[in-house]
Amino acid sequence: MPPLPLQSDWAFVVGNLDLLLVGTGVTVALTAASILLGFLLGFPAGAVEVYGRGPLKRAVETAGVVLRGTPLLVIIILLFFGLSVSSSAFVTATIALGLRSAAYQSQIFRGALQSVDEGQLEAARAVGMGRLQAIRSVVVPQALRRSVPGFQNEFTIVLKDTSIAIVIGLGELLTVGQNLYQGGQSTAALEIFLTVSLIYFVLTFVTNRSLDYVDDHFSIPGGERA
Amino acid sequence: MSDPLLELDDVYKSYGEEQVLSGVSFEMDAGDVDVVIGPSGSGKSTMLRCVNRLTEINGGAIYLNGECVTDADTDVNELRKQVGMVFQDFNLFAHLTALGNVTLGLRKVRGIDKAAAQEQGYEHLEQVGLLDQADSYPAELSGGQKQRVGIARALAMDPKLLLFDEPTSALDPELVGEVVEVMRDLAAEGITMLVVSHEMGFARSAASDIIFLDDGEIVEHGPPEQLFENPQAARTGEFLSRLETTHEGE
């Protein structure tokens, strides 16, 4: 087979694939860190919204409303240039994406917790379990299963939104692509951004398929699919 | 004279303006099987739920073995370890197998290790004839099987008293028999049961006493022969005749 006659612009992309892969690595790391932070904050926040009361519940609800009502771009600029929470762009981007994701994940878990029939909690209490124990042993395991589809959605949104970190100069995938093009080394704008898009697509596709597997694996036999 | 196992003393319960229980009093001795009957909305289920404090009373007191269990400082979890409950809608833990349902309380409440809990769990599943379904999830079981798992789950905690809240009402008619049969076995074993149910066959053959509750009050309370054959109150007779008509119509 004759070698594929690469146009020079595609050849430029192929030649710089290593840089794009480094950017992809940063994107993946940023996504993982943000989702993790979002889960660690968002899950308890959702539980507080369902089971909490008083000032704590109101504080959590208010924080959620504020975070969901502020554009991510504004949050990240505010944290980096306004509050200078960290000199590290990666840390700042993780906090911005993580907080915003926590606000959304809290709603996924809140809905999932509320969807578990009240009789489940009642039956657990009737056996003599304390409230916390009953929630932990009976309601949470079912709610987690039901939150997989919503979580799947949130995961892909965070993955793609990591590209916003370009505004604070973090060397994630989109930034690397932009630098390649803006460095004046090439006119391959279309080719670069198509490649970047393809990489984002592959990442979201793989993520979705993996979470489909998680969903199947943990589904309750005979029961409704999560 | 020893204390009755369960005593309700002038129990009142209201939801806002709506009075649900208006001075309910009765006693049960260990080994008794009391069946509560009465029209829909008469307060039967509420009364049952007051005994294990899934519902809190507004007045009066409830005693278990002579100890008041409706005081503010009563440990409700300690109370519930002694009083099992079987629900109308089963309320099996949906994410656990039949065995998991029966053993969860043993492990989390009684602190028994997994192997020992499973051993006991198998025994209780055998007691309700479901040993072969130990690994099935609730969604894989028929209604009658679910309710038998529900009974095994309550039995596993070795309660002094078992509460049944309309255990057969959510079942298809052909599945009622298997549940009633298990309940009959338990009654014969001397397990103390307070049952809200309109299964007249069970009430006639297994009950020590029938309690007829109407509009939040006990209208009549006595052995089944008396209540069914020779009701003292006009309301009891009317209710029973309506019940019979409905059942003949089926």
Residue A111 sits in a domain of what CATH number?
Answer: 1.10.3720.10
Are the beta carbons of A127 and B78 separated by less than 8 Å?
Answer: no
Q: Do B78 and A128 touch (CB under 8 A)?
A: yes
For B76, nearest residue in chain A (alpha carbons): A128
Task: Tell me what the pLDDT averaged over chain A comes to.
Answer: 93
Q: Where in the sequence is the domain holding A12, given as residue range(s)? A: 8-218
- What's the rounded mean pLDDT across residues A95-104? 98
Name every chain B residue with its beta carbon within 8 A of the beta carbon of A221: 136-137, 139-140
CB contact under 8 A, A222 and B138: yes
Please name which of A121, A127, A136, A137 lies closest in space to residue B79, comparing C-alpha atoms: A127
| Nearest Cβ partner for B94 among A125, A133, A142 | A142
Instruction: Report whether pLDDT(B247) > 80.
Output: no
The whole model's pTM is what?
A: 0.89
Q: Which residue of chain B is at minimal alpha-carbon distance from A223?
A: B139
Residue A37, domain member (yes or no): yes
Which one is predicted more confidently, B105 or A224? Answer: B105
Evaluate if residue B170 carries a pLDDT over 60: yes
Residue B36 backbone dihedrals phi, psi, to 5 degrees: -100, 125
Q: Do A119 and B87 touch (CB under 8 A)?
A: yes
pLDDT tens-digit map of B41-72:
899 999 999 999 999 999 999 999 999 999 98
State how far the Cα of A40 lies from the Cα of B222, in Å rounded to an integer. 59
Which amino acid belongs to residue A49?
A: E
- Mutate one of B53, B108, B161 to test the A interface: name it (highest A CB count within 10 A): B108
Mean pLDDT value across residues B1-12: 91
Instruction: From chain B, pick out residues whose CB is under 8 angstroms from the CB of A142.
Output: 94-95
What's the total number of domains in chain A? 1
pLDDT of residue B224 exceeding 90: yes
Inter-chain CB proximity B109 and A119 less than 8 Å: no
3-state secondary structure chain A: CCCCCCCHHHHHHHHCHHHHHHHHHHHHHHHHHHHHHHHHHHHHHHHHHHHCCHHHHHHHHHHHHHHHCCCHHHHHHHHHHHCCCCCCHHHHHHHHHHHHHHHHHHHHHHHHHHHCCHHHHHHHHHCCCCHHHHHHHHHHHHHHHHCHHHHHHHHHHHHHHHHHHHHHCCCCHHHHHHHHHHCCCCCCHHHHHHHHHHHHHHHHHHHHHHHHHHHHHHCCCCCCCC
Domain annotation covers residue A223: no
pLDDT in tens, A118-175: 999 999 999 999 999 999 999 999 999 999 999 999 999 999 999 999 999 999 999 9
**In this structure, is residue A166 part of a structural domain?**
yes
Q: Does A128 touch chain B (CB under 8 A)?
A: yes
The answer to whether A219 faces chain B, any CB pair under 8 Å, is: no
Do the domain assignments include residue A52?
A: yes
Instruction: Name the residue among B78, B93, B137 with its Cβ closest to that of A123.
Output: B93
Q: Are A144 and A80 in contact (CB under 8 A)?
A: no
What domains are defined for chain B? Answer: 6-91+162-249 (3.40.50.300)
Task: Look at A130 and B157 and tell me if their CB atoms are within 8 Å.
Answer: no
pLDDT at A70 over 70: yes
**Residue A2 lies inside a defined structural domain of this protein:** no
CB-based contacts of B97: which residues, under 8 Å, 6+ apart? B134, B135, B136, B137
How many angstroms away from the CA of B244 is the closest CA of chain A? 31
Which residue in A116, A127, A133, A144 has the most chain B C-beta atoms within 10 A of its own C-beta, making it the best mutation to test that interface?
A: A127
Angstroms from B17 CA to nearest CA on chain A: 24
Whether residue A1 is contained in a domain is answered as no
Nearest CA in chain A to B154: A127
